[in-house]
Chain A
Amino acid sequence: GESVGLHLPTLSVQEGDNSIINCAYSNSASDYFIWYKQESGKGPQFIIDIRSNMDKRQGQRVTVLLNKTVKHLSLQIAATQPGDSAVYFCADPLTGPETSGSRLTFGEGTQLTVNP
């Protein structure tokens, strides 16, 4: 079936380095993606989103890149800080009939660890 998943389960970086977290998707009809951050013991928190008519979108210290040709997303975090340590998910809102809402389809996530 359709899926959204990540390449690596863990990523360890030094404080101050840039981090890159990757995600692959299989549904070529997907037109909108969201990155979530989940800290230990908390619910996922929205970071940034991107529509399929864009290749790149920037936020505060984060950039998302979308390559529709190979169905690949990446989240880049600049100058990674200890507070960035968390699990990062890419998600694809599955929108079907109105009664279905926009259920999010998540992959397993990448655990980012920032070493001081």
Chain B
Amino acid sequence: GAGVSQSPSNKVTEKGKDVELRCDPISGHTALYWYRQRLGQGLEFLIYFQGNSAPDKSGLPSDRFSAERTGESVSTLTIQRTQQEDSAVYLCASSLDGRARVEQFFGPGTRLTVL
């Protein structure tokens, strides 16, 4: 596709349920990032994938959060046993590579609401 896509666009779930969020990066982009954006706040880094290297998971807030990426394509972010504080917009971004001055292109995000 022309840009980064994410699904679902909105997800409402009950506390304690697991959710899976999907990101389709721009074709050919080897770097992929997940960020979290709480209401009225800036972006919080979660995880970074670069090609077939081991991902940088240092931003994941707890062991309930995990993410996978198959090669240089789709990525899924999984949140287990969701809590109300997990409510946020989850944004995915991809770039040609992970260097600082290479533009990151963002998807529209998935708005997660945990009741």
Q: Which residues of A contact B (CB under 8 A)?
A: 4, 9, 32, 41-46, 49, 89, 91, 93, 95, 98-109
Asked if A102 and B53 make an inter-chain contact with CB atoms under 8 angstroms apart, the answer reads no
Asked whether A43 lies within 8 Å of B4 as measured between CB atoms, the reply is: yes
Q: How far is the CB of B24 from chain A (nearest CB, A)?
A: 13
In the complex with contacts A101-B98, A102-B102, A43-B53 CB distance below 8 A: no
A43-B106, A43-B107 are known contacts. Are A104 and B43 too (CB-CB below 8 A)? yes
Contacting pair A108 B98 (CB below 8 A):
no
The residues of A that contact B41 with a CB separation of less than 8 Å are: 108-109
Contacts A42-B108, A44-B43, A108-B40: A99 and B100 contacting too (C-beta < 8 A)? no
B45 touching A89 by the CB < 8 A rule? no
Ordered nearest first, which 3 A-B pairs have the shortest CB separation?
A43-B106, A106-B42, A101-B98
The answer to whether A98 touches B91, judged by C-beta atoms less than 8 angstroms apart, is no
Give the secondary structure class of B's interface. loop
B33 touches A101 (CB 8 A): yes
A-B pairs with beta carbons under 8 A, tally: 75
Whether the Cβ atoms of A108 and B53 lie closer than 8 Å is: no
Which residues of chain A are near B43, meaning CB under 8 Å? 44, 89, 91, 104, 106
Cβ of B93: which chain A residues have Cβ within 8 Å of it?
43, 104
Q: Give min CB distance, B29 to chain A, whole Å.
A: 12
The smallest C-beta distance from A60 to any residue of chain B, in angstroms, reads: 16
B48 contacts A101, CB within 8 Å?
yes
Q: Are B42 and A99 in touch, CB under 8 angstroms?
A: no
* A104, B98: Cβ atoms closer than 8 Å: no
Report the bound CA distance from A89 to B40 in whole Å.
11
Cα A89 to Cα B43 in complex, Å, equals 9
Q: Which residues of B contact A100 (CB under 8 A)?
A: 48, 56, 58, 98
Residue of A44, A95, A104 near B45 (CB, 8 A) is A104
The distance in angstroms between the C-alpha atoms of A105 and B100, with both chains bound, is: 12
Cβ-defined contact, B106 with A45, below 8 A: yes
- Asked whether B100 lies within 8 Å of A32 as measured between CB atoms, the reply is yes
B59 interface residue, CB < 8 Å from A?
Answer: yes
| Contact between chains at A95 and B100 (CB < 8 Å) | yes
